[in-house]
A and B are shown apart, each in its own frame.
Chain A
Amino acid sequence: GAVVSQHPSWVICKSGTSVKIECRSLDFQATTMFWYRQFPKQSLMLMATSNEGSKATYEQGVEKDKFLINHASLTLSTLTVTSAHPEDSSFYICSARDYGQGYTFGSGTRLTVV
């Protein structure tokens, strides 16, 4: 089946620094990938839709200058959390659509900002 690889699986960073999270579709091409954030005991909240070769589409309330998304190829999307603060600590998950398979999720990245 479709596999989406996400790295790193966890990261701890200092407040004010930036963190990049990678999401790769390993055995299929993904023109569209999605980035979600999940706080403890809450559901997944869509942050943005990443479109290959064009600008990402952000959901209402998500700061596009803080959460930079780049989808430079059909198999790679990156999310950069800029100037991270403790309130950005969360579980970030990407997903990609494999036609006929539904959506496959990456393994997630647990970000802790100290």
Chain B
Amino acid sequence: QKEVEQNSGPLSVPEGAIASLNCTYSDRGSQSFFWYRQYSGKSPELIMFIYSNGDKEDGRFTAQLNKASQYVSLLIRDSQPSDSATYLCAVPTSGTYKYIFGTGTRLKVLA
């Protein structure tokens, strides 16, 4: 059973701080990793994806991937109250196009 695990939270951070969200996966063959943001009652929206080990930055967001340790993380710098949402880690099953989603981490940014 391929799995993607996230801490459900809630993770509370003050406005302006760095929020760190983590995700571990079990399929060593996974090649790509996606972070989605989901506001309550809405569908997920893609924040960023990462394929290579190391860091990938996009604005206030940085994805970090460590394939040897099988974890991927998302850092949100200068967190804003509007960043309060559930963040889903998604990992396509190797050899298929099917995503496996983590349960999501609920982030609360306190004004």
- In the bound complex, what is the Cα–Cα distance between A97 and B49 (angstroms)? 14
* A49, A101, A105, A110 — most chain B CB neighbours (10 Å): A105
Q: Is the beta-carbon distance between A93 and B46 smaller than 8 angstroms? A: no
The answer to whether A106 and B43 touch (CB under 8 A), given A42-B103, A43-B102, A43-B104, is yes
By beta carbon, the residue of chain B nearest A108 is B43
A-B contact count (CB 8 A): 44
- Residues of chain B within 8 A (CB-CB) of A49 are 97-98
Q: Is the beta-carbon distance between B98 and A105 smaller than 8 angstroms? A: no
* A102 interface residue (CB < 8 Å to B): yes
List residues of B whose CB falls within 8 A of some A CB: 34, 36, 41-46, 49, 88, 90, 97-104
CB distance from B39 to the nearest CB of A (A): 11
Chain A residues touching B, range:
20 to 34
Within 8 A of B (CB), among A78-114: 91, 93, 95, 97, 101-108, 110
- Residues of chain A within 8 A (CB-CB) of B49 are 102
* A46 interface residue (CB < 8 Å to B): yes
